[in-house]
Each structure stands twice: as C-alpha cells, then as structure tokens.
Structure 1
C-alpha cells in the first residue's frame, strides 16, 4: 500500500476547496469573512471559523481591517477538541521629531 499524503481542505464560510500533498494548513482570503485571511480545515472536521472584532479603541495603531472596515484582532477555529487562533497583532507607530 502506498500512501500519498493527500489532504482535502474546505472552508466552512465559503465554497473554496483544495487538495494538497504533504503540506501544512492552508490559509486564504475568505469572502465569507469579508476578505480576512482565514484558515481552511480538513474535510469532515466539524468546526466554526469566525472573526473576532476588536472591542477596544483604535488610536492610530496599525490594525487589520476586514472588507467592511471593522477592526479585527483574530480569526478563531472552534471545534469539539479545542480552539485555534490566528492573531492579527497591532503595530505601534513612531514619529521622529
């Protein structure tokens, strides 16, 4: 028996599907999450992929915005066995005066 290492990836928020061989997790700009970079999951895994909107004040920080102009701090994958999180950390600006 020869194992090929092929995996079938899907996105629960849009129609994208991909097949890969011997590669890690796939990310894509998801139209279902207003264009945010979101992970794909293995076909058959029951989960929810969602964007976490920043609830604090954005005062000149360089933050990630979704396609609808909302500041987003993370994308999470919630499944029965746990949770994964891709964080969009803000960056500070420095001015030389």
Structure 2
C-alpha cells in the first residue's frame, strides 16, 4: 500500500502541512501496528527521537537507535513521525 507522507526535517520546527509530500511504500502490517499502538507510546518514541537529534545525533544514527530501542520498523517510525508533526507533538514536548 502506498501512502503519501510529508518529508520530515527534525532540525527545524515547521508545520508538516508546509512540507512537500513524498511517497513511501508502507506495508499494511506496519501501518496497522502503528494505528494499534497507544498515543502515549508513539509520543514517547517521537520525543526520544527528537531528543537524540537535538543532542547532536544525525538523522540515520538516531533513527537506528530508536528502532533498536523500541523495536519498531522504519515504516512504523516514519508513520509515528508523520503523526507527531501533524498533531504538533513538538509543542507538547517544549511545553508550549
């Protein structure tokens, strides 16, 4: 199943709606497992990735750490990131 996801840059605080969309091939199993994941768990994963990148880790390295630490696939992580930007979880992280 192909879905459109925004291209995400974690080094700048921008709205996902202002970014161009890119197509990623996401397996149905990965997409449905993210849907079944609690919002709390998705926020923890999203915030952990942002914290690593804010701490100086690169995009690839931080994503590998998160995938290993939380047992999520690349597709699941991309879905979590998309949801986090669409729901503005960055402002929740920063306390705004």
> Structure 1-normalised TM-score?
0.21
TM-score in terms of structure 2 length = 0.21
From the CA coordinates, give the structure whose radius of gyration is larger: 1
Higher helix share: 2
Which structure has more relative contact order (CA 8 Å, sep 6+)? It is 2
Greater strand share, 1 or 2?
Answer: 1
